[in-house]
Amino acid sequence: MKRFILTFVALAVTFGNPAIAQDETPVPVLKAPYHVPVFKNEYVTLLNVYIPPGRSTGYHIHTTQSVSVTVEPADLSDQIPGQAQPGPARHAASGGASYSDNRKQTRTHNAFNVGTTPYHLIMFLLNSDKPGGFTPSSRADVPAYVQIMDNERVRGWRLVLEPGQSAAAVTPQAPGLRVFLSEGDLAESVPGQPDRGMHPKLGEFYWQDPGLTRALHNIGTTRVEFLEFELK
């Protein structure tokens, strides 16, 4: 039954949706449908990518290094120029993080949401071709942080805190981002400052300057999960 639904939605996406013509001229990812730049600074341009069910992005071009985090899962299908039909559906899982370097080999594609749920992705493009010379922290001594990525441009960790659990203090050594994969209540403890409550939500993101030592405590009633990245 699922295959039938996916096929039906794929057909609807491919041949329907006249409000958004399937333009054949690829555009840069910064101008692609459903890819909305939220902010830009010296290091990154952050894109909030949200593709409702049945919609497609049109052809767009990736030309830089980037990190992507899936915050709402969906079934997707990709089409590349010259391909008669979109490829087979694949499932983008929540919490998946990936790094791409499209400087030498650009990527042009058209992504179709062929599932029944919205596809939500937080992506940051690295604005410079070269690393900024930062040395990210090592969090090896704080087991709550599970390293999920380490390459020439970025290091990243996943943190999962059940209600009442804490993560010992870390001090980010490089600028970066935090992306939330769930909603919950946290308190951040910074030495010399009062505890700071916060209520993050799924898909929220925050730029983080380096140098701040902070521990975290889940003060809510639900599991809190997020990813943190430090740039190199």
Between 133 and 194, CB nearer to another protein: 194
Between 160 and 212, CB nearer to another protein: 212
Q: Is the Cα torsion angle 168, 171, 174, 176 positive or negative in sign? A: positive
Least distance to another protein, CB of residue 192, Å:
11
Least distance to another protein, CB of residue 19, Å:
5
Least distance to another protein, CB of residue 1, Å:
26
Between 36 and 146, CB nearer to another protein: 36
Residue in 117, 112, 109 with CA at minimum distance from that of residue 13: 112
Least distance to another protein, CB of residue 120, Å:
9
Least distance to another protein, CB of residue 51, Å:
8
Dist CA 46 CA 152 (whole Å): 19
Between 99 and 207, CB nearer to another protein: 207
Residue 1 amino acid letter: M
- On whether the CB atoms of residues 35 and 1 are closer than 8 A, the answer is no
Dist CA 123 CA 102 (whole Å): 14
Site for another protein, rule CB under 8 A: 19-21, 23, 25, 27, 31-34, 36-41, 46, 48, 50-52, 55, 58, 118, 185, 187, 193-201, 204-207, 217, 219
Residue 74 in tokens:
């969906």
Dist CA 17 CA 156 (whole Å): 37
Q: What SS3 state is found at 6?
A: helix
Residue 172 in tokens:
């980010």
Dist CA 152 CA 97 (whole Å): 16
Between 120 and 153, CB nearer to another protein: 120
